[in-house]
């Protein structure tokens, strides 16, 4: 039913698969084995129902079965998902498609044994600058970058990529007013995590941060960190402490990008928050 020109039958078949994709791992693996290639092809369809239902099936199956995720990445699904996610001007891509694609991407890049292969991660790195911070589903962007390990000691980000990530980080920290909604939690948590990694791994990160803080946002790093402390979330405050530690341990000879005596660090038992294996 998925193969043919009768869209009504195709949609009917996809709806059946969508229901089945809520089942256990063996069933999800069977769906991807038998219909994975057709699902990936449906992502190029101009029919919104085909595209939407295919995205739902893919999300359901790969979230249930790591084997299904590993199978579908072999069909070069990551570039298709990423182009849906980053597209901001194509009227054929509805807003919800971008969020559905982001959900699929985050599943494929997460975990110690991530499904996304090296070439897929390289593709994401090479195309990440095409995502606009104020576009739909942008709250997932830094989470995808973090779990794809885009920032690491061997990543060698170029100037444009460094500026792009810093714009996302500082933009999220400056413009996110609260830490209640899931979207805002994603914006703040992964801004802190990616910034912490950049301070450690990207030589020009601190210079870029200083330039944008002064020239774009007209603020100071300690003001942003105090804003995050004010959310009164203990685990989030611990993330900020990690960032401060990385700033202090930065090996460059330049002065710290924030005034430590202005930081309003909450008085909580940080050791209690550490994972047992770290103590």
In the chain, the percentage of residues whose pLDDT exceeds 90 is 76
Q: What pLDDT, on the 0 to 100 scale, is given for residue 46?
A: 85
Q: Cα(150)–Cα(82) distance, rounded to whole angstroms? A: 15
- pLDDT value at 89 more than 60: no
Q: What pLDDT, on the 0 to 100 scale, is given for residue 27?
A: 96
* pLDDT tens sequence across 42-88: 999 888 899 999 999 999 999 999 999 999 999 999 999 999 999 76
Q: Which of 31-45, 62-76, 87-101, 108-122 has the lowest mean pLDDT?
A: 87-101
* pLDDT tens sequence across 227-271: 999 999 999 999 999 999 989 886 666 778 889 999 999 988 877
| Residue pair 228/263 in contact by the 8 Å Cβ criterion | no
- pLDDT value at 91 more than 60: no
* 93 Ramachandran zone, left/alpha/beta (phi>0; psi -120 to 50): beta
Q: What pLDDT, on the 0 to 100 scale, is given for residue 279?
A: 45
CB atoms under 10 Å from CB of 40, counted, come to: 18
Q: How far is CA 105 from the centre of its chain?
A: 8
In the predicted model, what is the mean pLDDT of the chain?
90
Burial of residue 73, with CB atoms counted within 10 A of its CB: 0-12 exposed, 13-18 middle, 19 or more buried: buried
Q: Cα(197)–Cα(212) distance, rounded to whole angstroms? A: 18
| pTM for the whole structure | 0.91
For 236, residues 6+ apart whose C-beta sits below 8 A from its C-beta are 179, 188, 189, 192, 228
**Please, what is the end-to-end C-alpha distance for the chain in angstroms?**
56
Instruction: Supply 224's token pair.
Output: 């942003």
For 204, residues 6+ apart whose C-beta sits below 8 A from its C-beta are 159, 162
Q: Cα(174)–Cα(177) distance, rounded to whole angstroms? A: 8
């Amino acid at each position: 039913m998925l193969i043919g020109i009768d869209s009504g039958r195709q949609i009917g078949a996809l709806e059946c698969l969508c229901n089945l994709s809520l089942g256990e791992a063996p069933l999800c693996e069977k769906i991807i084995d038998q219909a994975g290639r057709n699902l990936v092809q449906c992502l190029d369809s101009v029919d919104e129902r085909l595209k939407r239902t295919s995205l739902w099936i893919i999300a359901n199956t790969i979230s249930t079965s790591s084997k299904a995720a590993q199978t579908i990445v072999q069909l070069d699904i990551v570039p298709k998902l990423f182009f849906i996610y980053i597209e901001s001007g194509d009227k054929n891509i509805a807003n919800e498609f971008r969020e559905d694609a982001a959900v699929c991407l985050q599943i494929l890049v997460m975990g110690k044994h991530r499904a996304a292969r090296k070439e897929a991660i390289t593709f994401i790195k090479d195309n990440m600058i095409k995502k606009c911070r104020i576009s739909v589903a942008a709250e997932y962007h830094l989470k995808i970058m973090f779990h794809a390990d885009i920032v690491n000691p061997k990543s060698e980000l170029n100037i444009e990529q460094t500026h792009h990530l810093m714009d996302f980080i500082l933009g999220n920290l400056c413009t996110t007013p609260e830490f209640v909604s899931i979207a805002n939690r994603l914006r703040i948590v992964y801004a802190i995590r990616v910034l912490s990694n950049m301070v450690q791994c990207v030589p020009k990160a601190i210079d870029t941060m200083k330039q944008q803080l002064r020239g774009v946002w007209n603020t100071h790093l300690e003001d942003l960190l105090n804003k995050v402390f004010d959310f009164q979330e203990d685990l989030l405050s611990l993330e900020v402490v990690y960032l401060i530690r990385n700033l202090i341990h930065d090996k460059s000879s330049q002065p710290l990008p924030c005034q430590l005596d202005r930081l309003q660090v909450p008085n909580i038992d940080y050791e209690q928050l550490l994972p047992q294996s770290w103590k």
